[in-house]
Amino acid sequence: MNLIEFLKDMPVIGILRDIPRGEEEACVKTAASCGLKAIEVTMNTDGAEGIIKELKAAARPYGISVGAGTVRTGGDLERALNTGAEFIVTPNTRNDIIRLSCTAGVPIIPGALTPTEVQKAHDLGATAVKVFPVNCVGGPEYIKALRGPFRDIKLMACGGVNAENVGDYFRAGSNIVSFGGSIFNATLMREKKWDEIGKKLTVLLDAVKAVI
């Protein structure tokens, strides 16, 4: 799958950390109704493998791509690939994980922060590079600074992205953004408040549509 092309019309990935088992279909229906095209389940979520499989089954009719995030070790990657995860996201830059994912033909967005890490991840074959935690090092201004020398590298802003600042991230040069607990809040998911989650998600995605 060409992940960048797939996300062209809505370059946003939603992060599901600690989504409870049994909420997969409700999550997918909410994402689909709002126009979200990609979601990732963090591998440190209890039952992550089963959740990814259930999400994939629920997402198939809606054309939503389901990936695995917080892939930190070779074991995490193996488990993620065995679930059929359609893309991989990591919080850090590890040569072996990037290379193995590329060999498997699965798009990977590794985490990086410094210019050296950004270039390294790109050289290893990253589909895009997740600048994380971007909110701790200047937010949109940091993306703008990276964009100067790295015009050919796809950058995904991650960390503190919300409806108020998402436009700034795209204007600064982000190709993709990702978000998690600000919308897919663990408590709200556990309490099955998908209507509330959907309202928050709609506001964020409307802000994205206004700038892309």
Instruction: Provide the pLDDT for residue 108.
Output: 98
Closest of 132, 122, 188, 196 to residue 161, by C-alpha? 132
Helix (H) or strand (E) holding 177: strand 176-179
Task: Give the contacts of 160 (CB within 8 A, at least 6 positions apart).
Answer: 133, 134, 135, 136, 139, 182
Q: What is the Cα–Cα distance from 163 to 68, expressed in whole angstroms?
A: 24
CB 36 within 8 Å of CB 205: yes
Residue 2 lies in a domain: no
Residue 146 lies in a domain: yes
pTM over cut 0.75: yes
| Residue for token pair 């700038």 | 211
Residue 5 lies in a domain: no
Residue 115 lies in a domain: yes
**For every one of its 212 residues, what pLDDT tens digit does the chain have, with 9 covering 90 and above?**
899 999 999 999 999 999 999 999 999 999 999 999 999 999 999 999 999 999 999 999 999 999 999 999 999 999 999 999 999 999 999 999 999 999 999 999 999 999 999 999 999 999 999 999 999 999 999 999 999 999 999 999 999 999 999 999 999 999 999 999 999 999 999 999 999 999 999 999 999 999 99
Residue 135 lies in a domain: yes
Instruction: Provide the pLDDT for residue 10.
Output: 98
Q: What is the Cα–Cα distance from 152 to 142, expressed in whole angstroms?
A: 16
Domain residue limits at 179: 11-209
Catalytic residues: 40, 130
Q: What is the Cα–Cα distance from 127 to 129, expressed in whole angstroms?
A: 7
- We report the CATH number of the domain holding residue 72 as 3.20.20.70
- CA 132, chain centre distance (Å): 11
Instruction: Provide the pLDDT for residue 1.
Output: 81
Residue 136 lies in a domain: yes
Residue 51 lies in a domain: yes
188, HSE (Cβ side, Cα atoms, 13 Å): 20
> How many domains does the structure of the chain reveal?
1
Residue 49 lies in a domain: yes
